[in-house]
Structure 1
């Protein structure tokens, strides 16, 4: 696979998460339109009560961008190799990035500060028994 294919598939994975959120809102709206006996209500609630289109649009763009970037980086570095992995990485990209950010070495690299482990090794010096 080429680098751009990883990006497209990752973006698709990110978008699928937001599509599921829209689906859930539509299912709740459908249930609210019916009475307990299954008949349609005389005055059903409007769809905008269950879907926030501005928020869903914003989140869809962000999830697609995060999913595409993550899948592209993992694919270009050889850490993933297939379409399924790229889509799955796009779906779980925010969780993967949050987990990576919790690793002290990665967090210190992003923050631009030396890692805790590196600084303790530097202060201990060779032959200090640590």
Structure 2
């Protein structure tokens, strides 16, 4: 599969999950329009009382982007193969990326200061040594520690 195919199919996976969420909101709206006996209410709530359109659109676009990006990353690295793999990764993208963010090494790599290059990463021993105070000049001359 090509990168474009992974993006499109992963985005479709994200859209699929948003479609399920939208379907659930429609069910809530339908239930609110009916009385307990199943008859239509005299003044049923409008559709826009149950669907806040701007956030719904923003979430849908975000799911499309996350789904496409995750499927592309997983597909091109060989972690997900084929259309079904891309669709699955795209659908699971928000939860999957949240779980990856909980891994300490990944979180540290993402939040690493821009001034520190990966090739000059300090070890814990280097960090501990650099945070210790240096001895006073007279203590070094005498061979002791201040």
User: In the aligned structure 2, how far is the partner of 1:103 from the partner of 1:122?
Assistant: 23
Which residue of structure 2 lines up, in the alignment, with residue 67 of structure 1?
67
Q: How does 1:2-41 map to 2 (within 5 A)?
A: 2-41=2-41
Larger radius of gyration: 2
Is 2:85 the partner of 1:81?
no
**Larger relative CO (CA 8 A, sep 6+): 1 or 2?**
1
Q: Please, which moves more after superposition, 52-61 or 103-112?
A: 103-112
SS at match of 1:48: helix
Unaligned runs of 5+ in 2: 129-146
SS at match of 1:92: helix
Unaligned runs of 5+ in 1: 125-130
Deviations 1:48-93 (A, max 9, x none): 1111111110111111001100100111111111111111111111
- What TM-score, normalized to structure 2? 0.75
User: In the aligned structure 2, how far is the partner of 1:11 from the partner of 1:64?
Assistant: 4
8 Å CA contact 2:80, 2:89 repeated in 1? no
1:111 CA displacement: 1.4
Which residue of structure 2 lines up, in the alignment, with residue 112 of structure 1?
112
Deviations 1:26-66 (A, max 9, x none): 10111111111111111111111111111110111111001
Q: How many residues align?
A: 122
Which residue of structure 1 lines up, in the alignment, with residue 135 of structure 2?
none
User: In the aligned structure 1, how far is the partner of 2:36 from the partner of 2:126?
Assistant: 69
Q: CA RMSD in A?
A: 2.0
- What TM-score, normalized to structure 1? 0.84
User: In the aligned structure 1, how far is the partner of 2:80 from the partner of 2:71?
Assistant: 8
Q: Which runs of 4+ in 1 moved over 3 A?
A: 120-124
1:12 CA displacement: 0.7
